[in-house]
Structure 1
Amino acid sequence: MKQRKLIFLFSVFLVLLFVLSACGQKPTAKDRMEEYVHAWQKQDFSKMYTLLSKSSQKRVSKADFIERYKRIYGNIEAGKLTARVQENKSKSDSVHVTATLATVAGPIKFSQNVAFKEEKQKDEKNLYLDWQPNLILPKMNAQSSVRVDTLPSTRGEIADRNGKPLAINGTAARIDLVPGKMGSDNDKTATIKQLTKLLGVSKEQIDQALSASWVKVDSLVPITTVDAAKTDLIKKAVALPGVVKTDVSSRVYPDKNASAHLTGYVGKMTAELLKQHKNEGYTANSVIGKTGLELLFEKQLRQHNGAEIKLLDSTGAEVATLAKKDPVDGHNVQLTIDRDVQDSLYDQLKKDAGTAVAIDPRNGDILGLVSAPSYNPNDFVLGISSSEYQKLSNDQQQPLRNRFTAASAPGSTFKPLTAALALTHKAINPDTKVAINGSKWQASSSWGDYYVTRVNHDAKVNLETALFKSDNIYFAQTALKIGGTAFASDAKKFGFGESLPIEFPMRKSTISNSGKLNDQGLLANTGYGQGQVSVTPLHLSLIYSALVNDGSMIKPRLVKTNDAPTFWKKNVMSADTAQLLNKDLIQVVANPSGTAHDAQINGITLAGKTGTPEFKQKQGESGRENGWFTAYNTDDPKLLVTMIVENTQKKGGSHYVTPKVKKVFEQVLKK
């Protein structure tokens, strides 16, 4: 037993002796190189310097070592470093390092031997690295320098269906000053004063630019950049002493205000955006989409500049190319938009606040998306002044607001949907004339002082008359016949409560705030597009597309494609119902008593529906009204327009809108 204990204790002693011996072993060259690599990966240049041999530290000071690494690695945008250290079997004081350093121009690869020296530093004997400049970058020596060349690329462009430009890479006009050509002090003062008026640039900004340390008498001193299309402004500016124009590359929006909310605009990268897009290849000098399609299609449109890292000798001559990444241009995007349609819509709206959407109801191609009033996106690209931006922001008509993405009460333009639901549920007979007494009605006395009112006073009304005369009472009663549960449920079949299947994000249309219609008054008001109904102009257009597609709603398309059109919602109504409603809506325009008779065009048969939703605090009081009109041509239908103009209460409601839509059809279909 004692012998076993002795053997056990002896074994424990040997293990402890081995451990203590191992703990006392000095780090190998591989260990020390891995320590250096660990600091290198973190770009801890100060730590790296402590691992250098005395002779290496004598060749380069700590300050120079750190500064050179920081400057070079900053210029090449050095990123992740991966490395492998292998022992050199023939030389214990040497290792072989293979490493890859990520840079702006792609990976740079190292493959070299690194020698170590055993020496005493700070009372500690250890192995220290015999550092050479080729550990900054391969092939470098003490006299080498590095140059990074940017290989430029171009951002993808946006065009309409016919190739007409909407967002392109063009030029802008930079307004420069040449100090030596500005004349006397009085002339300089007068020129600066004139420029502040013309360009909206402050005197302080111009003075600061002229007083920069690099400025000489013959220098071109940039003051601001303006839209090259502003020829009159540029002409007045360059007529001043010392003022010259320089063409510079810029994103250009040829359709200006007409397509501003659609295209959006690009802008310079900000610190906040750079943080949001970390590790996506952007730099502080990048341009990025800020709004509209420029933002939505950023991944397709964005360019990727290439780069080349050159190693130079002491004379500045190129010695080697360390890394090269080819530039990649952005992809062009061709839309279904027709710029002629876009411009026609905008021309009708530019003096008002409103929106318009145009589609081809046969294939879903979106031909126009307009919001008014608008702004010039070129001003934002070039750097809009704070005073101009404040002017836009404080404008009561909200030119920066995108109205075609918003949803609001559609008024009587909603009545064809109510009719479709009623016919589907057989809640009405379209030929039956319903007796309606007077111009106001309520379902029961529980409504108190509230009544549904109508403009016409027909004693008996059928579906056709109710549509072309826009009888609110008929459709309020029809909604009650359908029932709240069925109405709300069937509205979902038309896409209410869903996002539209389109790249451009738009507000969801809703049948009510809760999605239910369990209140009698709310249901009645919903029947003629009031209550809490809210719909986007594009969604309403898609609902109307069912009238020319045998009862199915077309799926919208914004990007041009050769693919066959598809339906978003199939069979939302029967083909017979679609045909019947189509016939009745023709009377809205063709019948002399129709609410859109003033939109009638010789040679073109239009069908459609007007709407004048009211926004009033109390019934009987005057209040805000919007004018709506949705119309399409019935013979070979290829254009469907929904237009909304805000605040038409003193302009005739929807009658202010119908001539505008008529003009669009005349311009587009008769060209």
Structure 2
Amino acid sequence: MKKLYFIFTLLCFVIILSSCSNKPTAEQRLNEYINLWNKQNFSEMYRMLSADTQEKVSEKNFIDRYKNIYEAISVKNLKVSTKKIEEKEKEKATVSLPLSLSMETVAGPISFTKEVTLQKEEKEGEKNWYINWDPSLIFPQLKEGDEVKVTSDQPLRGEIYDRNNKGLAVNGTAYEIGIIPQKLLEDKDEILNQLAALLEIDRAQIDAKLNESWVKPELFVPIKKIDPADRERFEQIIDIPAVQKKDSASRYYPAGEASAHLIGYIGSITAEQLEKLKDKGYSTNSVVGKSGLEQVFEDRLKGETGYKIFVGGTNEVIAEKKARNGEAVYLTIDYQLQKNMYEQLKGDAGTAVALNPVTGETLAMVSSPAYNPNEFIFGMGASKYRELSEDPLKPLMARFNKLYSPGSSLKPLVGAVGLETGTVKGSDVKKIEGPTWQKDASWGNYFVKRVSTKVSDVNLQKALMYSDNIYFAQLALELGSEKFSTGLKQFGFDEKIDFIFPTGQSSIANSALSNDQLLADSGYGQGEIQMSPIHLAAAYTTFLNEGNMLKPYLEKTDEANVTVWKEKIISSETAAVILDDLKQVVENPEGTAYAPKLEGVQLAGKTGTAELKQSKDDTQGKENGWFVAADMNERHLLTAMMIEDVKSRGGSHYVVPKVKKVFEQYVKSSPQE
């Protein structure tokens, strides 16, 4: 019996010891608290606070304070830890343990070490360790009653310059037009209606601004920014009673419409954009690139907002990150050439690209019709935007990166493929008589039509000079679909062009190779061949670089960044033959690009007319006119210009004098250094 009693007593003692050993230590309790802290579970953290702490701060205030501070400073990667130590003096009611905390915030990383005190308390019949909390556990600088504040410092957006450091997108000063309410006279309605008309906004927009809660009779109420270059309108506005102006920092596009599609514009961030970009430092007050290079270079132009986290009242800094202004971007674009090319296109729907054919530098990218990007900055009215967006000529759309049928401007490439494959020699003559031709009766009523019937003995040079469709239709059939397709792919077809401005991929539709009629049409750039103006211009660099096709580039470097996109796609001999033939297109009086004769400047080039038919029998379809040309004197300029709907205006002959005017201004009047 005594033995059983001894065993029972021993078991009870073991259970009591085991129960005591299972009670968490101060270190274990702190680790529980830290685990909740890392999860930002502030409500459970509050339950682990000492009774004294809970008397001083309510659960709501505790939770709200942490949440508000952490949200305001955008806390990420919060890590709280404590060192493993040997707990001493276990019988004491309070223990101090080390705490390490680190986090990422809008103002950069924050880290600190702190001792936290835990004390034993009995709650609901059980003793445990509880945390003595005070605001310094949020940040050591904080005391009871202190607030954490955050201020931001906006960076300057990076500017965009041309090759000669002339601004294309700059940070300037605009006129902000506003009203002093107390100066509005008895003819208030007449004044506000007049102002609305001059600012091109609805009267309701002005009324809404004047009725905002902060407005007082003596305060300046901003209504709208206007372009400082619009002096005439500014003078009219400033003469209106009660109207004043203030200078305001603003983005500005000096080239206006001429560079609208290339440079683009900025605007206020949308909710959808903010959702995507919120982790990159954007806020509801941010502006972003909406189109063009403003959008392409957004990450480099925007800079980094500066932030300071500090204690309100004492202004003691907790963390600070200085603002970093956006990067300036320098382009290979020539501002004056860009303007000149736009002036030649203005009034027409079309596009033009200019390259330096021996370096690959992109000198101009123009699209017409255009819009004034400054109107987006200074506030475009709803009616104006509706007018632009509903215009059938699509002035909001960039054309230089879209795909078009190249028409006869493709013929030099097809001729080069013929020479390279041995399918044709430059001296070979085809007997072509009459204005039309078909392979055989299987084509039914479909015939290939010639541009000119002046010659019947046609070699490659004459075929290019007279732009003979029948010659190139027959050459495409002689090549066959495989050689034809392979040859054009050597020039970059069906391949994404490595160019910083997003550009469509030139293509040869499979259907274009599926039968003889479509293959013949493709031989002279019709059928279903699609090409971007940028790619077409780049393809012609092959003939000026001994068979190497250069990769066009848009960003200026310290030295010319000549990069071969396609090496030796044709031999130097083939390149020389084609280039000499292209000179005849422009210099020979019989050539399609001879008139008007440009004195003092020798050009080589090729015209092209692309018929936009809905079907093979369509005789009413529109035509796009092309002219691709290069300066043979200095070899500083190669242009590809396309104008839409030229059927009743002479076809490609409508385009030729416009391109020649560009060369006259650029090469003759403004020679390159």
TM tier, shorter chain? over 0.9
Match of 1:254 in 2: 254
Choose 157-166 or 63-72, whichever is displaced more. 63-72
Match of 1:179 in 2: 181
Change (3 A) 1:228 1:16: farther
Q: Deviations over 1:304-353 (max 9, x none)?
A: 122222224xxx343x2211112222221111111111111111112111
Q: Are 1:502 and 2:495 counterparts?
A: no
**Aligned 1:113-262 pairs, distance under 5 A:** 113-121=115-123, 125-184=127-186, 187-262=187-262
TM-score between the two structures when normalised by the length of structure 2 = 0.92
Shift, 1:497, TM fit? 0.5
Instruction: Give unpaired runs (5+ residues) of structure 1.
Output: 1-9
Change (3 A) 1:417 1:297: same
Amino acid at match of 1:109: S
Change (3 A) 1:521 1:209: same
Shift, 1:90, TM fit? 4.5
Match of 1:7 in 2: none
Match of 2:37 in 1: 40
Instruction: Give unpaired runs (5+ residues) of structure 2.
Output: 1-6
Match of 1:667 in 2: 665
Is the partner of 1:245 in helix, strand or coil?
A: strand
Change (3 A) 1:301 1:603: same
Amino acid at match of 1:211: N
- C-alpha distance in structure 2 between counterparts of 1:24 and 1:17, whole Å: 10
Shift, 1:605, TM fit? 0.7
Shift, 1:58, TM fit? 2.1
2:155–2:302 CA contact under 8 A, matched in 1: no
**Aligned 1:197-596 pairs, distance under 5 A:** 197-312=197-312, 316-318=313-315, 320-457=316-453, 458-513=455-510, 517-561=513-557, 562-596=559-593
- C-alpha distance in structure 2 between counterparts of 1:40 and 1:378, whole Å: 50
Shift, 1:503, TM fit? 1.2
Shift, 1:375, TM fit? 1.3
The CA RMSD measured in Å over matched residues stands at 2.5
Shift, 1:669, TM fit? 0.8
1:172–1:226 CA contact under 8 A, matched in 2: yes
2:37–2:80 CA contact under 8 A, matched in 1: no
Change (3 A) 1:549 1:24: same
Shift, 1:437, TM fit? 1.9
- C-alpha distance in structure 2 between counterparts of 1:143 and 1:357, whole Å: 65
Change (3 A) 1:17 1:172: farther
- C-alpha distance in structure 2 between counterparts of 1:173 and 1:513, whole Å: 56
Shift, 1:367, TM fit? 0.3
- C-alpha distance in structure 1 between counterparts of 2:15 and 2:510, whole Å: 79
Choose 396-405 or 51-60, whichever is displaced more. 51-60
Shift, 1:110, TM fit? 2.9
Q: Percent same amino acid among aligned pairs?
A: 44
Change (3 A) 1:599 1:135: farther
Change (3 A) 1:64 1:220: farther
Shift, 1:117, TM fit? 3.1
Choose 640-649 or 239-248, whichever is displaced more. 239-248
1:629–1:642 CA contact under 8 A, matched in 2: yes
Amino acid at match of 1:289: G
- C-alpha distance in structure 1 between counterparts of 2:66 and 2:108, whole Å: 18
Is the partner of 1:118 in helix, strand or coil?
A: strand
Choose 83-92 or 168-177, whichever is displaced more. 83-92
Aligned equivalent of 1:67, options 64, 68, 79: 64
- C-alpha distance in structure 2 between counterparts of 1:23 and 1:439, whole Å: 109
2:446–2:616 CA contact under 8 A, matched in 1: no
2:465–2:590 CA contact under 8 A, matched in 1: yes
Amino acid at match of 1:75: A
Amino acid at match of 1:57: Q
- C-alpha distance in structure 1 between counterparts of 2:666 and 2:175, whole Å: 34
Change (3 A) 1:563 1:366: closer
Amino acid at match of 1:266: I
- C-alpha distance in structure 1 between counterparts of 2:242 and 2:27, whole Å: 66
Aligned equivalent of 1:629, options 610, 614, 627: 627
Change (3 A) 1:38 1:182: farther
Choose 370-379 or 335-344, whichever is displaced more. 370-379
Shift, 1:489, TM fit? 1.1
Shift, 1:611, TM fit? 0.6
Amino acid at match of 1:173: Y
Change (3 A) 1:182 1:423: same
Change (3 A) 1:168 1:56: same
- C-alpha distance in structure 1 between counterparts of 2:34 and 2:201, whole Å: 52
1:550–1:579 CA contact under 8 A, matched in 2: yes
Shift, 1:97, TM fit? 1.1
Amino acid at match of 2:105: T
Shift, 1:584, TM fit? 1.5
User: How many residues are aligned here?
Assistant: 654
Match of 1:5 in 2: none
Is the partner of 1:598 in helix, strand or coil?
A: coil
TM-score between the two structures when normalised by the length of structure 1 = 0.92
2:356–2:362 CA contact under 8 A, matched in 1: yes
- C-alpha distance in structure 1 between counterparts of 2:126 and 2:195, whole Å: 69
